[in-house]
Structure 1
Amino acid sequence: MIVEHLAGALVAATATLVELVESAGDAARPALNTLEEIAHLLGRMNSDERQELRDVLARLAAAEPARADFIRSLPSALGWDGAP
């Protein structure tokens, strides 16, 4: 399903950007700006769409144990705490 592939790409891109921010300090401003834009754009999803993405992320986390914690943390990192 295309949604799983897109979510996988989102996870890969987000993980790379987070790594850049954590390792490059001030030089990583473009990566941080991109992460903020991703959060903003995904924040436009309605509650059903967010739930669908959460479900896909749960499946990805189960399939990728090495990155499971990171994958499970994405909704919170996107500012969806307490949001359906």
Structure 2
Amino acid sequence: MTALVALVESVESGRDVERTALNSLEEIAYLFGEMSSDERREFRDLLERVAAAEPELADFIHSLPGSLGFYLES
């Protein structure tokens, strides 16, 4: 949520959006790495539900964690 707020505020204020986006993505990647096994399982299940609801975006949704260097075990 913090990353989302930072992105919205940077766009609205005209700040360096690219730098803010990169910092936000790094924070998200860090938080992924801090997840417990149960949280990872819940997140994987959430991604599956979102991908099922948005089939045209399923490949993108499934690739998000890996794009940040975080891989969910199956």
Q: Do the structures match in fold with TM over 0.5?
A: yes
Higher helix share: 1
User: What residue ranges of structure 1 are gaps of 5+ in the alignment?
Assistant: 1-5, 18-25
Among candidates 30, 36, 40, match of residue 50 of structure 1: 40
Larger Rg: 2
Q: CA RMSD in A?
A: 2.6
Identity %: 60
Where do 1:1-84 residues align within 5 Å? 28-81=18-71, 84=73
Normalised by the length of structure 2, the TM-score is 0.65
| Counterpart-to-counterpart distance in 2, 1:70 and 1:50 | 18
Normalised by the length of structure 1, the TM-score is 0.58
User: Relative contact order: is structure 1 or structure 2 higher (C-alpha 8 Å, sep ≥ 6)?
Assistant: 1
Deviating above 4 A after TM superposition, structure 1's stretches of 4 or more consecutive aligned residues are none
